[in-house]
Structure formats: structure tokens, C-alpha cells
Amino acid sequence: MKGFHYVKKTLCAEGVSVRILAEKHGTPLFVYSRGYLINNFRNLSSAMAEVNPLICYSVKANSNASVIKTFLREGAGVDVVSGGELYRALRAGVKPSKVVFAGVGKTRDEIEYAVRRGILFFTVESEEELVRISDCAGRMRKKARVAIRVNPDVDPGTHRYITTGKKESKFGLDIARAEKAYKMAARMKNVEIAGLHIHIGSQILSGRPFAKALKRVKNLCADLKKTHKSFKYIDIGGGIGIQYQPDQEPLTPAEFAALLVPVLKRMGLSVVMEPGRYLVGNAGILVCSVQYVKKNHFRRFVVVDAGMNDVVRPPLYDAYHEIVPVIDRNAKKVATDVVGPICETADFLALDRAMPVVREGDLLAVMSAGAYCSSMGSNYNSRLRPAEVMVNGKRSSLIRKRETFNDLIRNEM
């Protein structure tokens, strides 16, 4: 299933015209396809069926409650990286026993919150964090479950800002240090060794780095399984890449599973996965409207009402997002910079892109905007965060109101 397609030259989200959504809710507007979200979840889940993984949706990819709930209804858990994400997920109705908590900077308050609610496990990034978790749990007279995050030192072949499993990154512990950390954990009364965690990066388009990382931790897992009754989980993280560019080959769940499932089966542990982008990336678009077409001697700029405050990925990661007209007029294509209203030269959605000629008032859709767009959005330049809409077949519902000027100053004294 594709969430977005043209019907008689008009872009539709499932059975709803994107133009009508834009008229009703204004722009910029995030539009998500519920069917596509569910489809992605089920594809991954059935590809991995032989190891029956707990799929913990990575909330940071898109933290809207309706998106989280859509996956919870499919049986998902969540991967959170802050107290705020834990709060959102619990409010959306997740069972604490299906929550894993990652991140290098967990504060005492965040740890206590998660211990109090009884999450499945923390993925632990350092010895110091382990000590802190043990201390917090001890004060609360509880036991905290942990999985040490191992940094397997593999290159996933993605942008360096979203590479997390190489030895120079801030994430996890190398294998030798992880072994020592497990020995430390074994001596802690208020810590239970639950599993081992790896997450090597994001937007990874080959299954091989995942398999390589898993092979690097296989022996350690086997040892831990022998020595600790409580050691039950291998958490293989997220990172499955999606198609952003028309000529890009995505990593399919089938290819991913073909490489990983045989190894996972032999390991004999419960499998946890933490997909974010794969589940939501292509299930969302950002609709914006053309404000000005401005030309100078060198460039043709299409100035739209969405910018780096809504979609920061192009300037931050050199990311490519396809941009298409909502009404396809078959216009001729010319080299265009699509830019936003923000007062920064880095405020672009596309540079030097062959785009159909557009005029003031036309609607454009930034594709693949479901992951790491809304959730990375900001109010920079005091711009209002967009409204968000979820489409389900022929129906649509507003799942986040557009902000108002009052929202901007709400917390100021």
C-alpha cells in the first residue's frame, strides 16, 4: 500500500484530497496515512515472525499521541529517550512492561520516573549510569532491569551525524568494557541483568552492518545467557532505512529478516526491535504553500511557508526530500531552490532541484516527512508549529492543533 498517490492529477492521502485538507486546515500541514503506518508495522512484524519480536516504536521519530496509539493497537511497545517521551507514551496507553529507555544523559528524575512505572529495561550507556540506576532503584527499594548498550564498532554507511555504533561515537561501551559493566551489574542488589542492546545508527540501507553488529555481540550474549538466569533479551535497536530519493533502493523487511533472523534464532533470546523512521518516515508529508517565486541572476527561489523549523533534515543532514506539486499541471521543470521564510541561509528544503514551475498560492508536498520532521520542529523565528492530520481511508482527523500566538508566550513571566 502507498499512502500518497495522484488521483486525476491531485495528490491524495489514501482517499482524501490533500488540496481539500490544506483548504480546511491551512498550511503548513503535516498529513499522515494511518493505513500506511499500520502496513509498515505489519510488514516488519510478519517478516520477523519467526522470532516474534517485541517491536518498540522509537517515539522520537514522531511523538504524536495518535501515531503512538496506532502502533500500540498493533501490539507495539515503545523505545523512549527522555522522561518526556516516557510521559507521552504512558499517556498514549503503553504498558510499562513494553517500554525500553535509551539515551546517554538520563537524569535521576528520569530514572526514578521509569523505575516507579516499572519499565521493561533501561539500555545503559556507561558505568556511571549503571551506578546511578542502581542508586535510584535502591532508594526506591526496587529492582531496575538493565541491558548494556554495546558499541560494536561497525560503520553503517549512513550520514556521520546519525552513525551511533562506531568507536568514536558517544554511545554505548565497547565489548570489553561492556563485559566489565555486566560484572559490575551482577554485584548490584537493585539491578537485574535483562539483556544486551545495540543500535548502530539510522537510515541504514543495507542489512549487512546489522548482521555484522549482531555477530560481534553473539558470544557475549551466549556467555551472559549461561551465567544469568535473568538475561533474556537481545535488543537490536532501530535504523532500518527508507526511500527518500526516487532512485533509492530501500532496505526491505524481508532482506533485513533474511540476514538477521537465522542468527537471532540460534541465539535463543527474546528479540526487541526499535524501529522509528521505517515505521513513520514515508507515511507522512508536509504540505506547504508557495508565497513568492523570486529570481536573481543565479537562482530561482520558490519561497514557501514551511522551513527548517518544520523540516530541519536538509540543512542538518544534507537530507533529500522529494517535493511534488499537490496539483500536477504537467509544468516544465526548471532548476529551483525551495526555501523557507526563516532568516538563515541554511533554511532550505531543496537546492538546485529540477522542479515543475509553480506560482504564488500553489501547494507543494514535502514527501517522506513522517519521521524526524514534526518531532524535530521548533518555534524558531516565532513561527507556529503546524497542525497535523491523520487520514484513515476517506476520513481525516485533526491530531494536533495548529499553534497560536498565545502558545508562543504561554510560559513567559
The nearest distance, CB 79 to ligand PLP, in angstroms, is 5
The nearest distance, CB 239 to ligand PLP, in angstroms, is 4
Contact 3, 35 (CB under 8 A): yes
Candidates 33, 40, 58, 374: give the one binding ligand PLP (CB under 6 A).
Answer: 58
Contacting range for ligand PLP; rule: CB under 6 A; set: 42-50, 188-196, 268-276, 312-320 = 268-276
Candidates 3, 238, 314, 325: give the one binding ligand PLP (CB under 6 A).
Answer: 238
All three cell numbers of 160, joined, read 556521520
CA distances from 55 to 86, 250, 273, 387 (A): 16, 20, 5, 28
The nearest distance, CB 153 to ligand PLP, in angstroms, is 17
3-class secondary structure per residue, 345-357: CCCEEEEEEEEEC
Determine if 207 is a binding residue for ligand PLP (CB under 6 A): no
Distance CA(59)–CA(99), nearest Å, equals 11
Determine if 275 is a binding residue for ligand PLP (CB under 6 A): yes
Determine if 60 is a binding residue for ligand PLP (CB under 6 A): yes
From 403, 405, 386, select the one nearest 21 (Cα to Cα).
386
Contacting range for ligand PLP; rule: CB under 6 A; set: 53-61, 86-94, 131-139, 388-396 = 53-61
Nearer to ligand PLP, 275 or 325 (CB): 275
Candidates 156, 165, 237, 377: give the one binding ligand PLP (CB under 6 A).
Answer: 237
CB atoms within 10 A of CB 318: 10
Candidates 277, 321, 383, 385: give the one binding ligand PLP (CB under 6 A).
Answer: 277
Nearer to ligand PLP, 275 or 340 (CB): 275
> Environment class of residue 247 by beta-carbon count within 10 Å: exposed (0-12), middle (13-18) or buried (19+)?
exposed
Determine if 313 is a binding residue for ligand PLP (CB under 6 A): no
Contacting range for ligand PLP; rule: CB under 6 A; set: 40-48, 109-117, 124-132, 274-282 = 274-282
Nearer to ligand PLP, 302 or 373 (CB): 373
Distance CA(308)–CA(290), nearest Å, equals 15
Determine if 146 is a binding residue for ligand PLP (CB under 6 A): no
CA distances from 102 to 85, 110, 337, 341 (A): 11, 11, 38, 35
Contacting range for ligand PLP; rule: CB under 6 A; set: 272-280, 317-325, 338-346, 383-391 = 272-280
Determine if 79 is a binding residue for ligand PLP (CB under 6 A): yes
Candidates 192, 274, 347, 388: give the one binding ligand PLP (CB under 6 A).
Answer: 274
- Host H or E run for residue 121: strand 121-124
**Contact code string over 278-307 relative to ligand PLP, x by CB under 6 A:** x-----------------------------
Q: Beta 54-58 vs 29-33: how paired, if at all?
A: unpaired
Distance CA(275)–CA(59), nearest Å, equals 9
Nearer to ligand PLP, 238 or 325 (CB): 238
In the set 12, 136, 221, 343, the catalytic residue is: 343
Candidates 38, 61, 90, 389: give the one binding ligand PLP (CB under 6 A).
Answer: 61
Nearer to ligand PLP, 212 or 383 (CB): 212
CA distances from 231 to 100, 121, 130, 134, 405 (A): 15, 11, 16, 17, 51
Distance CA(55)–CA(98), nearest Å, equals 9
Contact 119, 144 (CB under 8 A): no
- Largest interatomic CA distance in the chain: 70
> Environment class of residue 36 by beta-carbon count within 10 Å: exposed (0-12), middle (13-18) or buried (19+)?
buried
Binding residues for ligand PLP, total number by CB under 6 A: 17
Distance CA(130)–CA(174), nearest Å, equals 15
How remote is the C-alpha of 70 from its chain's centroid? 15
The nearest distance, CB 199 to ligand PLP, in angstroms, is 4
Determine if 199 is a binding residue for ligand PLP (CB under 6 A): yes
> Is 373 one of the catalytic residues?
no
- Rule CB under 6 A: which of 94-123 touch ligand PLP? 102
Nearer to ligand PLP, 9 or 42 (CB): 42
Which residues are near ligand PLP by CB under 6 A? Answer: 58, 60-61, 79, 81, 102, 199, 202, 237-240, 274-278
Q: Which residues are catalytic?
A: 343
